[in-house]
Amino acid sequence: MGIVDEALAAGEPLLTCAWCGEDFERENRMGHPATYCSHAHRQRAYEARRMARDTGISYDKAAAIVRRRWLPVRIHPGFDKARIYK
């Protein structure tokens, strides 16, 4: 049972990450509700906001650029392995 299933079983409301759109369980019940599923995603959203402010492009455009920048980091490990060990 994953954390999402467990949260549903316990009747916990799931939150949706404002960066990746994934549902996640609210870890800390104190304070204001979390907006992001992880520290990394909070950081990326912050980067995008800052880029939008500094360059004058829209937040959506800045977010797309930040996403592209981070995407290869997540994809590459499996990719390289498949190529090398095939």
The residues of the shown chain that bind Zn ion, judged by CB under 5 A, are 17, 19-20, 37, 41
Angle at 73 between CA 17 and CA 58, to 5 degrees: 50
Which residue of the chain is nearest Zn ion when measured via CB?
A: 17
Angle at 23 between CA 39 and CA 14, to 5 degrees: 100
Closest CA to 37 of 28, 24, 46: 24
12 or 42, CB closer to Zn ion?
A: 42
Q: From the CB of 75, what's the least distance to Zn ion, in Å?
A: 16
55 or 59, CB closer to Zn ion?
A: 59
